[in-house]
Amino acid sequence: MQATMDDNHANTTPSAAGIKDGSETVILFGKYEIGRLLGHGAFAKVYHARNIETGQSVAIKVICKRKLIKGGLSLMANVKREITIMRRLCHRHIVRLFEVLATKTTIYFAMEFAKGGELFAKVAKGRFSEDLSRRYFQQLISAVGFCHSNGVYHRDLKPENLLLDDNWELKVTDFGLSAVRDQVHSDGLLHTLCGTPAYVAPEILAKKGYDGAKVDVWSCGVILFVLSAGYLPFNDRNLMVMYSKIYKAEFRCPKWISSDTKRFLHRLLDPNPQTRITIDEIILDPWFRTGYIEETNIINSIEFDLIGHNEREYLNAFDLISFSSGIDLTGLFNKAYSVSKERFVSGEEPETIVSKMEEVAKGEGVGVTIKDGWGLKMEGQNGNFVAAVEIRRLNRDLVVVEIRRRESDVGPSQRIWNDKIKPKLLGLIFQSERRVDVCDGDGGGGG
């Protein structure tokens, strides 16, 4: 019997499209019914899915770990950072991350589904009115300001990363290139070159370091121009010519944009970051405040219910995708290991697992000490067997059980674990009914 968080935990394999295999429905971890493909990129795909228990629509972002590794350590670091950031940001205009699931080869983000699609698709059909442009800009600034107050800088704001829900409310997504305050260098600036060319701030092009909040404001200015004009303020087939225009902030507003909007745009697209308008100044600007309704309850409390009442009890997302075995939570009970660390996934409550392991260990004459939280220490006679057990939540339904043993525990000591304790813990292992593996050879990156 195997732990069932591996890629063989079910018997239905999606086709190359990653959705269906004949008439079979693909079920992810016994919880999400996978639907149509919403989008893809270099390293991931995004699918529509339905929570079987609640009927709620969600978006499942599927990241192929193999391709991340091939792409270099920085890509894996970006995924870790994205998880950490999205769990930190609970705001009505930011796409919510419900949970992160993982197998040996694949990482899954279960996220809020934005039924209205990308804002880019809407503006591509024609420019917005001044009032509608302002409304979406107000929502954007509400989200971006919240990010900055939590030490997060998006660094890739553009209409393609702005989604609309079923009420046509704006949702910021894709924090894969985001930075946090801890990444700021000793000079108080960020130095990583990133972003989308048409939306990048001049100081990034200067390669002398930049303020994350200032570059986000610049990108917001480009977005407002696109919403109001229907095209980009800086655009040229020759990338260097376009960069020259950005560096000098050379743009011209069309005649249908009001003088107040033009004035405001010039404050946003100021090439000097020192004099560029700030988020606080934006909120006080007369143009911005027209029809503006203060966000008094911007934190969505349901987020904490979905992720967990006690964050400490939940498996840290950084740990989740940093396991030395490559998210290998598999095989604890399919063969004897001589390594010092083993893991399996269980659907039982942590207290039940602790109680069962204590019962089994004592039945074999092994002493048990219960640790604070969800853990215990096992110790055999004369200290010839020592093992520490720690239990952390993976999501609301699953926990990861990690057993650490001394590498020197061999011979009779090793048999205490492999032959006597392990076999009696088989019933704790989570088993799924279907297989899902949407990490195919073509990969694709969404989100």
**Tell me, what DSSP letter sits at residue 105?**
S
Nearest to 39 by CA among 99, 103, 121: 121
Whole-angstrom Cα distance, residue 337 to residue 323? 17
Nearest to 292 by CA among 129, 127, 139, 119: 139
CB environment 383-421: b (16+ within 10 A), e (fewer):
eebbbbbebbbbbeebbbbbbbbeeebeeebbebbeeeb
**What is the number of residues in the chain?**
447
Nearest to 436 by CA among 176, 144, 104, 173: 104
Structure token digits, residue 14: 């999606």
Whole-angstrom Cα distance, residue 278 to residue 92? 22
Question: Order of strands, edge to edge, in the sheet holding 44-51?
Answer: 27-28, 32-40, 44-51, 57-64, 106-112, 97-102
Whole-angstrom Cα distance, residue 113 to residue 166? 9
Helices (DSSP H) in 72-156: which residue ranges? 73-88, 119-123, 130-149
Q: Give me the residues paired with residue 190 across strands.
A: 210
Q: Give me the residues paired with residue 51 across strands.
A: 32
Q: Give yes or no: 305 in active site.
A: no
Which of the following is catalytic: 156, 174, 211, 270? 156
Whole-angstrom Cα distance, residue 177 to residue 196? 10
Nearest to 103 by CA among 327, 319, 318: 327
Q: CB neighbours of 136 closer than 8 A, spacing ≥ 6?
A: 119, 128, 162, 170, 227
Residue pair 321/82 in contact (Cβ under 8 Å)? The answer is no
Would you name the residues annotated as active-site residues? 156
